[in-house]
Amino acid sequence: MGRFVVRTRKDGEFQFVLLAANGQVILTSEGYSSKAACLNGIESVKKNAPLPERYERKNTSNGKYHFTLTSPNGQVIGSSQTYESQSGMENGIASVRINAPEAPIEEALS
């Protein structure tokens, strides 16, 4: 089972990552000014992750792939790593869809 990990960045902002069962990062948030806002971001991911229409598939300038997960208003709530292939990206999306809805939330150790 995957899990969310909340951490404080060096700039003092809060950020979450979604880890797959194998510990690999499959989704990363932007920075939030408060922990409460970060936790709200996680709830938005849990709610929107199962919905295929919430994923935007993108290509990088060097021919690689990545995706973002968006809220109903189009705001990005999480971004993927860069993938070498389109199939890798699709597997990443599938992993977020499976892992996010029931993933527990943990605090990172400093």
Q: What pTM was estimated for this model as a whole?
A: 0.93
> Per-residue confidence at 1, pLDDT binned at 50, 70, 90?
confident
Whether 110 has a pLDDT exceeding 80, the answer reads: no
Percent of the chain with pLDDT over 70: 99
Q: What is the domain-level CATH number for residue 94?
A: 2.30.29.80
pLDDT in tens, 53-68: 999 999 999 999 999 9
Give kind and range of the element (H or E) at residue 74.
Answer: none
Residue range 24-45, pLDDT digits in tens:
999 999 999 999 999 999 999 9
In total, how many domains does the chain have? 1
CA 45 – CA 59 distance, rounded (Å): 22
Residue in 46, 27, 4 with CA at minimum distance from that of residue 89 = 27
| Structural domain containing residue 69 | 3-107
